[in-house]
Amino acid sequence: MHTLQSNSLLGLTAQELTGLVMDSGQPAYRGQQLFDAVYRQRIETLEQISSLPREYRALLGEQGWRVGLPAIARKFVSGDGTVRYLMQLADAETVETVWMPEGDEGETGEGSEAGDEMEAPAAATFRRATVCVSSQMGCAVNCRFCFTALLGVKRNLSAGEIVGQIAAVLRDQGVQPPMQRVNIVFMGMGEPFLNYENFMKSVQLLVEGVGIPEARMTVSTAGIVPRIVDFGREAVRPKLAISLNASNDALRSEVMPLNRKWNLQELMAAARSFPLRARERLTFEYVLLEGVNDRPENARELAELVRGVRAKVNLIALNSGAELSYRTPTQERVGEFQRVLVAAGIPTFVRRPRGRDIFAACGQLKRTVQ
């Protein structure tokens, strides 16, 4: 039956919850009531499930069930309104989740630095926001420019732990999808395509339970080619972003050793045959490393690589740190790289760094507490 890890209601589908209530002789409709309470109301405790009879709530508790919402262990607020959450899971380990008010999916913005300390915008001014969610504790993909890579991988997150991060943030921010517009990016700690089943189950729960349409979700992969193929066959799936980060194999193998397993030819073949929906575009991410992959020649090479794919390129100036040997290119250099791609007809955007001052920006998630 259920192990200790899975005695959390968060993570179970409506069908699984229906099976659970029926095991205790409850009517089947109580399964849907549980599903609504957990995902739509996002209750914290069993006692808060007011739609269920008191005795049955007590029985669930006796059977060892709990809601399974992660605890917010720490919260860091950036000058630009971004909030980095340190979420504590049932085994006391932590992962990070980032809330970005006014977050787009990273494709707009002028590349300016985070500002000074100020209040996060109040809920009353809410228009849209993006939650960046983690899929693994640490990461096994050894990208040379990423802080999360320094942690190694501890374990996969369950579907409940992935959805739980979002449920906890929505609770904390007092935000109610679908009335308020929330985007989800699977771009936090970890490689979602190395935790494929749990990631896809979390997508299903977010769509059916929390009420966030899959068109408002984007998953980013470092380039796990067989999973890109599987992902293209999913009936319900987020949009796809691929971390390219280099314009040729020699360079990519240097900055992303994973490229030795699936090289650019294999990766681009998967990208080219990826079944896009009407009006959908792929995203290619490209982290700019000063003097390494940021030359105009690299931009021209990149333009050739992605030519013919219905895609846009998101440039990310490196978020640097003492542990990394790479440096951040100047804004002029980033602009120059962008102009080469745009001139070649490739829609190219510079991702605005969010929450650099609190170590919440791309590649900076490594459970920094100071």
Q: How far is the CB of 141 from ligand SAH (least distance, A)?
A: 6
Q: How far is the CB of 134 from ligand SAH (least distance, A)?
A: 9
| Contacting residues for 193 by C-beta, under 8 A, at least 6 apart | 199, 219, 221, 222, 224, 227, 228, 231
Residue of 171, 152, 6 lying closest to 87 (CA atoms): 171
Q: How far is the CB of 108 from ligand SAH (least distance, A)?
A: 17
Q: Is 145 in the site for ligand SAH (CB under 6 A)?
A: yes
Site string for ligand SAH, 124-143 (x = CB under 6 A): -----------------x-x
Q: Which stretch binds ligand SAH (CB under 6 A): 8-16, 157-165, 195-203, 218-226?
A: 218-226
Q: Is 8 in the site for ligand SAH (CB under 6 A)?
A: no
Nearer to ligand SAH, 213 or 321 (CB): 321
Q: In degrees, to the nearest 5, what angle opens at C-alpha 335 toward C-alphas 330 and 339?
A: 150
Q: Which residue is closest to ligand SAH by CB?
A: 363
Please identify which residue in 26, 49, 362, 367 interacts with ligand SAH, judged by CB under 6 A: 362
CB atoms within 10 A of CB 19: 13
Output the CA torsion sign for 98, 99, 103, 105. Answer: positive
Q: Is 282 in the site for ligand SAH (CB under 6 A)?
A: no
Residue 223's DSSP bridge partners are none
Q: Which stretch binds ligand SAH (CB under 6 A): 35-43, 201-209, 219-227, 261-269?
A: 219-227
Please identify which residue in 165, 220, 283, 338 interacts with ligand SAH, judged by CB under 6 A: 220
Q: Is 243 in the site for ligand SAH (CB under 6 A)?
A: yes
Burial (CB count <10 Å: 0-12, 13-18, 19+), residue 345: exposed
Q: Is 228 in the site for ligand SAH (CB under 6 A)?
A: no
The Cα 157–Cα 162 span in angstroms is 6
Please identify which residue in 96, 105, 161, 191 interacts with ligand SAH, judged by CB under 6 A: 191
96 assigned to active site: yes
Q: Is 363 in the site for ligand SAH (CB under 6 A)?
A: yes
- For 214-223, letters b (16+ CB in 10 Å) and e give bebbbbbbbb
Q: Is 146 in the site for ligand SAH (CB under 6 A)?
A: yes
The tokens for 222 are: 């470092």
Nearer to ligand SAH, 57 or 366 (CB): 366
Q: How far is the CB of 285 from ligand SAH (least distance, A)?
A: 4
Please identify which residue in 222, 268, 270, 282 interacts with ligand SAH, judged by CB under 6 A: 222
The tokens for 284 are: 């290619």
| Contacting residues for 341 by C-beta, under 8 A, at least 6 apart | 299, 302, 303, 313, 348
- Residues in the chain, total: 370
Size of the site for ligand SAH (CB under 6 A): 18
The Cα 146–Cα 365 span in angstroms is 9
Interacting positions 299-358 with ligand SAH (CB under 6 A): 316, 318-319
The Cα 158–Cα 135 span in angstroms is 8
The tokens for 50 are: 């007011």
CB 62 within 8 A of CB 48: no
The Cα 279–Cα 275 span in angstroms is 12
The binding site for ligand SAH (CB under 6 A) comprises 141, 143, 145-146, 187, 191, 220-222, 243, 245, 285, 287, 316, 318-319, 362-363
Q: Kindly list the catalytic residues.
A: 96, 362
